[in-house]
Amino acid sequence: MINNMENKKFFLYARKSTDVEDKQVLSIEAQLTELRDYAKRENLNIALEFVEKQSAKVPGRPIFNEMMKCIEKGDADSILSWHPDRLARNNIDGGKIIYLLDTGKLAGLKFPTFWCDSTSQGKFMLNMAFGQSKYYVDSLSENTKRGLRQKVRNGDYPTLAPVGYINDSRTKTVVVDRKKAKVIKQAFEFYVKGGNRLEDVSNFLAKHNLFSKTGKKIHKSRATSILSNSFYTGLFRYGGELHEGKYEPIISKKLNRLALQDHKNSAQSLTACVKEKQEKISSISIRLERLLNGYLDQDIEKEIYRAEKGKLLLQKKSLEEEIYNLSHKQNDWLEPFQNWLEVAQNIDKIASDFEPPPRRKISARQRAKKSEFVWKNGGKSVGRASRVPPSGFEKAVEFCIGAPGKNRTCIKDSANPHSIR
């Protein structure tokens, strides 16, 4: 490393993470004080100070990356920090620093607690320091996981306890919150014995002053997790396994089982109902397609097509809204009458929302083969024709589609000769 430090421009970098690996490291204020005193003693020219509060276990620190970009642009050529582990605890950031030393864009590094220069020996020692910092983080993570596993084997819940319990910071255990636990138990009994919905459970909790951490009403999805949580019976899940806790249970296993069974039956009934309505929608879609084909083939009049299309669209829309309500509001089995009335009042608009596509060009000969009407005069059938008969004749109740043969269909209606079935 060049001895004339006055000609170098240094970036001062201080970092402290809130994670466990930096628990014994000096605070940022202490680092800044020590580094400024060190720079003054060594006559170092500090161009800018960078302070960051983030872990260095993974790459992606914004302030560190900004400092490295400034060095690449030539704003400074050296870094002053407390220790190499302040700069990097992962291979990517450590390798980037060593690469800048190799290319000469980074002239040197200074640490009050570590010797380093830009020679091959200095870079080797720096690489060893970065490797040791990563090893410390990795081994700390393994030791932490091992400690948590042992805590679980002892029956202690290692994370934040659910509502109804509190984490005792003195004993590092989970204890019952007597006030909230009583409400939780009543909520289980309310759901099982009263045959109530999840929304009713949410309202029950709010009525007894049990809210979320933000002070809002507990949503029904959260009520579902409460009713299905085996933690309240003395069992908890961790790492995909069920463990027996040594804390006091709030409810019996039988009560929890009944709540789960009621919730399961409700979900199965809901799924079956939604599936049935989806099948009805598929059937209506097929009927709409057939109706359109009949209109395009000039087998159905425009007025009849629009009227029948409106009826089918109204049925389809009602079924879709019922499915939506079943999916988002469990046990809301009835459609709001106001929404239905609004749709019913707009049936003409629904039928005419889309202008029917232009009809296919069909010759008179093809039209005569495809459809016929039965005409009557004075109540007596006088024959079939595809064209309008002379004055005095009226259209009969029989409407036939298709050429004579197996594919021919005739529709009769004594009340309304225009209806389609």
Label the pairing between strands 165-168 and 173-176.
antiparallel
Same domain, 194 and 77: no
The C-alpha atoms of residue 228 and residue 232 are separated, in whole angstroms, by 9
What is residue 414's predicted lDDT score, i.e. its pLDDT? 43
111 strand-pairing partners: 114
| Neighbour tally for 184: CB within 10 Å | 23
Which domain CATH number covers 220? 3.90.1750.20
Reported as a single tens digit per residue, the pLDDT across 134-165 is 888 888 878 878 888 888 888 888 888 899 99
Same domain, 53 and 130: yes
Q: What does pLDDT average to over the chain? A: 75
**Four-point Cα dihedral 168, 171, 174, 178, nearest 10:** -60
What is residue 408's predicted lDDT score, i.e. its pLDDT? 52
- What's the domain range around 20? 5-148
Same domain, 59 and 94: yes
What is residue 80's predicted lDDT score, i.e. its pLDDT? 93
| Neighbour tally for 56: CB within 10 Å | 25
Contact 374, 358 (CB under 8 A): no
Same domain, 298 and 329: yes
Same domain, 12 and 142: yes
Same domain, 229 and 308: no
Q: How is residue 323 written in tokens?
A: 């499915």
Within-domain flag for 261: no
Instruction: Report the SS3 class of residue 50.
Output: strand
Contact 212, 124 (CB under 8 A): no
The C-alpha atoms of residue 16 and residue 83 are separated, in whole angstroms, by 11
* Integer CA distances (angstroms), 272 to 266, 275, 278, 279, 327, in order: 10, 5, 10, 11, 12
Domain-terminating residue out of 251, 284, 308: 251
Contact 333, 326 (CB under 8 A): yes
Same domain, 346 and 368: no
What is residue 371's predicted lDDT score, i.e. its pLDDT? 47
Within-domain flag for 421: no
Same domain, 297 and 368: no
Number of separate domains in the chain: 4
Within-domain flag for 211: yes
For residue 139, give the DSSP letter. H
What is residue 329's predicted lDDT score, i.e. its pLDDT? 47
Same domain, 23 and 91: yes
The C-alpha atoms of residue 49 and residue 43 are separated, in whole angstroms, by 16
Same domain, 173 and 59: no
Within-domain flag for 17: yes
Q: Give counts: helices (H), strands (E), the chain.
A: 13, 12
Length of the chain: 421
- Backbone dihedral angles phi then psi of residue 84, each to the nearest 5 degrees: -55, -30
Q: How is residue 364 written in tokens?
A: 């008179």
Domain-terminating residue out of 220, 251, 282: 251
Within-domain flag for 258: no
Say how many Å lie between the first and final Cα of the chain, rounded: 95
Q: In what order do the strands lie in the sheet with 394-401?
A: 380-385, 371-377, 394-401, 409-412
Within-domain flag for 259: no
Same domain, 144 and 13: yes
- Backbone dihedral angles phi then psi of residue 419, each to the nearest 5 degrees: -75, 150
* Integer CA distances (angstroms), 286 to 30, 282, 302, in order: 76, 6, 19
Q: In what order do the strands lie in the sheet with 108-110?
A: 45-52, 9-15, 78-81, 108-110
Mean pLDDT of successive 10-residue stretches along the chain, which has 421 residues? 65 82 70 92 92 89 93 92 90 91 90 85 88 84 81 86 90 89 87 77 88 85 84 84 85 69 57 76 84 76 81 80 64 44 55 56 55 47 47 48 52 44 36
Instruction: Report the SS3 class of residue 276.
Output: helix
Within-domain flag for 419: no
DSSP element (H, E) containing 264: helix 253-296
Reported as a single tens digit per residue, the pLDDT across 372-416 is 444 444 444 444 444 445 445 444 444 455 555 545 555 444 444
Same domain, 49 and 169: no
What is residue 96's predicted lDDT score, i.e. its pLDDT? 92
Of 167, 158, 148, 174, nearest in space to 249 by CA: 174
What is residue 51's predicted lDDT score, i.e. its pLDDT? 93
Contacts of 419 (CB under 8 A, 6+ apart): 411, 413
Which domain CATH number covers 32? 3.40.50.1390
DSSP element (H, E) containing 221: helix 220-227
Within-domain flag for 154: no
What is residue 266's predicted lDDT score, i.e. its pLDDT? 57
